[in-house]
Amino acid sequence: MASALRKPLRCSQSLSLLLKRFSSGRAATNLDSGKNSSDALKRFIIDKIRATGPITVAEYMKTAVSAPSVGYYGRYSDSQKVPGNLLSVAPEQEKNMSVHLVETSDALIEQQEKLLCDSPSTSTSSSNYGKEAFVRKNTTKSGVPIFWYKTLADVPEAFSIFVANEFLDALPVHQFSRCADGMWHEVYVNIDKGNELCFMNSRGENLHTRGLLPEEVRSDKERKHWECSPEAGTFVNEITERIVYNGGFGIIIDYGHDGSRKDLSFRAYEKHQLVNPLSKPGAIDLTADVNFGYLKSLVVDRAAVFGPNTQREFLAQLGAEIRLRRLLKSCNDREKQEILIKSYNFLMGDMGERFLAMSIFPKTLTGILEKRGGPAGFALPRQSASVENS
């Protein structure tokens, strides 16, 4: 299918999805799960710290999230669904479109293929190694070619639509604290006297405090904490370069803030409850709010960036309320109607404030997009009231 991506841009487009969570929330059945795996990973981290010293929060996250067969996303898939029909490409264009998924977990690739395709593919990571950039290919139930890759760099360059939904909040973050001495220190993960993982501050400034802390953060004497994800920055820079040189646009939706948050956000969830992020590495969901202000600052000089808007504003401008009313009108099942209303209010309520959306376009389109009042979902915000049961 690589040849299709080389057709003239008016005939070809690719949809690149970068997903942290995608499938049904079940553990992959062919992999070990539970306490033993978590204990093994925790022992590994403790032994590593004992041998080489404290590690950064970023290194801890990377190990806990992506360790093969043990890390959280090596074993589980957990879905937060965004109304896909509000973001979808028109059906008549599907014949000229291919879907490209970037996924590091083999277990999640299996889950995604089962969900999206009628039958398993014959092209797998092992059979395809060294031959093509993709690790798996298949055809979706609607007949669209679909490919899987381990990194964005492997996705063929062409006019592309990038969708990153709850992807960046799982990427490793570096955390910094300004202590009583007035200096910035990096937050590390260490071992306490009880041989348990704990947080500590670096003795003084290090390469990360000197290289990652912006001057405006240092000069803000009221600010005591700051965190950022260089990997998220690399990702946004990479898709921006592709958009600038190959055409297309990107949409990022995630937990986050506009850069104004002044406390640390790294946390963990187990069964939807907040837990100690150092308690069960590999068995709990680690996350940190995305600093959209930081990401925007990296690319605004060479791209047209709109947002971040709250998810409530974004979905309202895309017609979420109109879509809901049409669905309710076409549904005669009272129970299903209540589910639709509850889901709508969930997306537009608290989650509508906690999630932000940001779009990226080629800078050459700035004038056109501004003249029409911004791209869909990023025009002037409007109020959207909750829909009550009638």
In a domain, 50, yes or no: yes
Identify the CATH number of the domain in which residue 224 sits.
3.40.50.12710
In a domain, 109, yes or no: yes
pLDDT at 74: 44
Q: What is the CA radius of gyration of the chain?
A: 22
In a domain, 382, yes or no: no
Confidence of residue 38 (pLDDT cuts 50, 70, 90): confident
pLDDT at 37: 72
Taking the C-alpha atoms of residue 256 and residue 192, their distance in angstroms, rounded to an integer, is: 31
Provide the residue type at 266 as one letter: F
In a domain, 293, yes or no: yes
Mean pLDDT of the chain: 83
Confidence of residue 108 (pLDDT cuts 50, 70, 90): confident
Taking the C-alpha atoms of residue 169 and residue 19, their distance in angstroms, rounded to an integer, is: 10
Paired sense of beta strands 136-139 and 145-149, if any: antiparallel
Paired with 17 in beta bridges are 101, 163
In a domain, 1, yes or no: no
Tokens of 23: 């499938």
Confidence of residue 309 (pLDDT cuts 50, 70, 90): very high
pTM value? 0.82
The label of the residue with tokens 């957990």 reads: 78
Tokens of 350: 């608290």
Counting Cα atoms < 13 Å in the Cβ hemisphere of 316 gives 20
Provide the residue type at 255 as one letter: Y
Confidence of residue 18 (pLDDT cuts 50, 70, 90): low
Task: Report the number of distinct structural domains present in the chain.
Answer: 1
Handedness of CA 33, 101, 256, 238 (dihedral sign): positive
Q: Is 92 helix (H, G, I), strand (E, B) or coil?
A: helix
Average pLDDT over residues 344-372: 94
In a domain, 387, yes or no: no
Average pLDDT over residues 109-113: 90
Q: Which structural domain range is residue 365 located in?
A: 10-373
In a domain, 2, yes or no: no
In a domain, 379, yes or no: no
